[in-house]
Amino acid sequence: MSNVMNTYLRLPVTFAKGEGVWLWDQEGKRYLDALAGVAVCGLGHCHPKLVKAISSQAGTLIHTSNLYHIAKQEQLASRLAQLSGMDNAFFCNSGAEANEAAIKLARLYGHGKNIDLPTIIVMEKSFHGRTMATLTASGNRKVQAGFEPLLTGFARVPYNDLEAVSQVAVHNKNVVAILVEPYQGEGGVNVPQANYLQGLRHLCDQNGWLLMLDEVQCGIGRSGKWFAFQHSDIAPDVVTLAKGLGSGMPIGACLAKGTAAGVFKPGNHASTFGGNPLACAAALTTLEVIEEEQLLENALLMGDYMRAMLKAQLTGLAEIREIRGQGLMIGIELSRPCVELVKDALEKGLLINVTSDKVVRLLPPLVIQRAEAELVVSTLSGIVKEFLMT
């Protein structure tokens, strides 16, 4: 009997090593990883430059408190500001923590405007984490059930519905911010309609709200640009990051711009481990490799290719509703629950995920090459066709 707390429904496999897009289990069987640790391993497994950077930093300095200046943290904040157009960064350990920081920032911003009960507009089908504030913000009843009472201060509207947001503006004078994933991941790989993000930006400007984008999953090259909002040519006030930032090392960030960048003061927020030298070395190397190996371009190219090939293989089958996504964030929606596809794929040496019960989610490493992408498509298409015949 395991002494690990039973909080995950684990698949029957234990991995022993990884290289690029491949993982090997303890018996030596090889698996093509089309999930990348749920969008974490953007550089694939054990990228030589990342291993070297982590090893070198671990032999020099692993951790100092945020009571002192941290050189690598300063470098990382500067690089992220350069890439995003944001002004400053708060570092933490995960996406949930990054979103907690954003929620606290928005509430403090509201109190600064003499709003006693600040409210944040959030979206249905969203996922922002599993801490109390972030699971309350999430539009997924499954993650909330059993943890009531939930927090107050959130107004929920459908994703991709600007009119619903406008109606909240009319009826709720306590709104201070919108928190939205530009591309929803856990909610089923949902893509924003044309001008949706621009519309949200306009409503925020009209009402004096902060536009806060959760790019924990879709950021750091996953969409084919450094940040997913860059597809819509807008500038947010707050952006949260995590998964792909450290390529396996735990690090999250809450970036802010303009007025939002000046909300937090010393003592307002903190993270013991956040932005330590080891995690920041991993993040700086991740950004460096993405640029050197032109992985943004590769994510666009391979993503377009995989969606096109999947459509060629699967479109027209009666129970395939839609194949969608952006960059290497791909969803295949079926008309019925299909969670067993994960085990079917595992048996054939392919790692995938099913989210929202009916959506096969692919999040392969940004380093995936054409032959590997072809193998993902051919293996998965065969499994899906076989499944639909049952």
Which residues are catalytic, by number?
127, 214, 243
CA 254 to centroid of chain Cα atoms: 13
Type of residue found at 268:
N
How far from 185 is each of 7, 30, 214, 306, 325, CA to CA, in Å? 21, 27, 10, 17, 9
Two structure tokens written together for 270 = 């903190």
**Which stretches of the chain are DSSP H helices?**
36-39, 48-58, 71-84, 95-112, 132-137, 141-144, 162-171, 196-207, 277-292, 295-314, 341-347, 370-388
**Contact of 328 with 303, CB cutoff 8 Å:** yes
The Cα–Cα gap between 146 and 151 comes to: 13
Going by C-alpha positions, the residue among 228, 193, 217, 188 that lies closest to residue 326 is 228
Going by C-alpha positions, the residue among 167, 206, 199 that lies closest to residue 180 is 199
SS3 of residue 80 by DSSP: helix
Two structure tokens written together for 55 = 């090893």
Angle between helices 277-292 and 295-314 (to 10 degrees): 70
**Distant-in-sequence, close-in-space partners of 154: CB < 8 Å, separation ≥ 6:** 119, 120, 121, 122, 136, 137
**Contact of 321 with 333, CB cutoff 8 Å:** yes
DSSP of 189-218:
-BPPPTTHHHHHHHHHHHHT-EEEEE-TTT
Backbone angles phi, psi at 153, to 5 degrees: 100, 20
Q: What is the dihedral of CA 36, 37, 41, 44, to 10 degrees?
A: -50
Two structure tokens written together for 4 = 């690990």
CB atoms within 10 A of CB 389: 7
> Considering Cα of 292, then 293, then 297, then 303, what sign does the dihedral take?
negative
